[in-house]
């Protein structure tokens, strides 16, 4: 065998000491030794496939063809994750577990990765295996997206909408190239949503320009595209001046720009579209919160019938976060008012989890149309 074709054989011996596993590496050719602690090995990249997750590619194809949307629910803690998984297993719905940059800082990146691993095992215990995507919501830098990919995320969003069009393309393309090399799907964004949610904020919205979508998709290679057609982040998506009121005095938001969505569909037919800021802000929760000591004035969201209409189009991923926050907050406030002496977190987080589960089951069945699609 020619010298250049010789293989270096690595022999790994595991030695145990009091604090760490230590790996002794010796090559037959060089007799070179190196000590690697498990702390080093734990920092090596982890593939989402090792965690039992899937990317969004096949899920989106089925959703576009089937006229429904995959739920993308944000989570920060165990109770939220339990509620999401229970709701999606019981309705047999695929799910996208969304994590924002703020959630990673709050819950810790390592814990979140292992919560996703636990989620895969948990649905097996619940009796029905559903496809699970772990997705970065509103990643704003290449470094953040790369870190998530290296830590087991199966999908990332790179939000370059705050940059110029050319810089958005360049940043998105850079993320796509790295992500696709690891089998990870990428969501880009054109247009800006108003509102505040976690670390994402914008005072004014700007609608997606349909004439830009073909160029953006072809130049970046993204797998899905978040667009702006009038949805907005947070629980106060619109000012009262932007809305009308029905006979009960409830604020009705301005109609979504379905004409923009339809034009985009014509230009990139069958391409997966994403809607952010799509919480409906259920008025029953707003009322509960206010009656139980809260102050949520003029909170208004996107009517569910509008979201169902969108889900029947090429919109195959709909993001919902604020609704879950409202449901949990209302349930927790109820416990605190009815049982002011309660101090066991399980006694108020448990009811909050149950309320969130019921809400998300309703979303899957009646709004997104994803029930029975797993």
Kindly list the catalytic residues.
137
Angle between helices 283-291 and 322-338 (to 10 degrees): 30
The set of long-range contacts for 116-119, using a CB threshold of 8 Å and a minimum separation of 24, is: 116/51, 116/53, 116/152, 117/51, 117/52, 117/152, 119/81, 119/85
Which letter does DSSP use for residue 8 in this model?
Answer: P
Max CA pair span of the chain: 87
Give the residues across from 34 on adjacent strands.
25
CB atoms within 10 A of CB 354: 17
CB atoms within 10 A of CB 304: 17
Among 143, 126, 144, CA closest to 135: 144
Among 365, 300, 362, CA closest to 326: 300
Tokens of 171: 């940043």
Which phi and psi (to 5°) does residue 28 adopt?
Answer: -65, -35
Residues in the chain: 374
The percent helix, strand, coil of the chain (3-state, each to 5) is 45, 20, 35
> What is the DSSP annotation of 221-285?
--SEEEE-SS--BSSB-S-GGG-EE-TT--EEPPPP-HHHHHHHHHHSTT--EEE-S-----HHH
């Amino acid at each position: 065998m020619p010298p250049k074709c010789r293989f270096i054989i690595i022999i790994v011996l595991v030695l145990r000491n009091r604090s760490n596993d230590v790996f002794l590496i010796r090559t037959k050719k060089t007799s070179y030794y190196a000590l690697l602690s498990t702390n080093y090995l734990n920092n090596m990249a982890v593939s989402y496939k090792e965690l039992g997750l899937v990317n969004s590619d096949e899920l989106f194809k089925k959703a576009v063809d089937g006229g429904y949307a995959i739920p993308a629910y944000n989570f920060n803690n165990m109770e939220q994750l339990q509620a999401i998984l229970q709701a999606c297993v019981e309705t047999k719905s695929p799910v996208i577990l969304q994590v924002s940059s703020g959630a990673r800082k709050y819950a810790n990146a390592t814990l979140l990765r292992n919560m996703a691993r636990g989620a895969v095992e948990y649905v097996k215990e619940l009796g029905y295996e559903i496809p699970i995507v772990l997705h970065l919501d509103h990643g704003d830098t290449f470094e953040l997206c790369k870190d998530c990919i290296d830590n087991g995320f199966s999908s990332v969003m790179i939000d370059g909408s705050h940059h110029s069009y050319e810089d958005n393309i360049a940043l998105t393309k850079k993320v796509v190239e790295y992500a696709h090399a690891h089998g990870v799907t990428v969501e880009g964004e054109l247009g800006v949503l108003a509102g505040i949610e976690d670390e994402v904020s914008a005072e004014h919205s700007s609608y997606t320009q349909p004439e830009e979508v073909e160029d953006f998709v072809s130049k970046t290679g993204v797998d899905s595209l978040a667009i702006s057609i009038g949805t907005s982040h947070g629980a106060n998506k619109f000012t009262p001046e932007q809305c009308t009121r029905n006979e009960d005095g409830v604020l009705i938001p301005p109609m979504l720009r379905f004409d923009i969505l339809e034009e985009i569909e014509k230009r990139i037919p069958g391409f997966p579209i994403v809607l952010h800021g799509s919480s409906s802000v259920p008025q029953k929760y707003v009322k509960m919160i206010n009656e139980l000591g809260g102050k949520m004035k003029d909170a208004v969201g996107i009517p569910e019938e509008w979201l169902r209409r969108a889900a029947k189009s090429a919109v195959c991923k709909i993001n919902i976060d604020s609704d879950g926050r409202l449901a949990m907050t209302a349930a927790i406030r109820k416990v605190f008012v009815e049982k002011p002496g309660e101090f066991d977190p399980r006694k108020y987080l448990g009811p909050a989890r149950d309320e969130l589960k019921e809400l998300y089951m309703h979303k899957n069945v009646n709004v997104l149309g994803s029930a029975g699609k797993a």
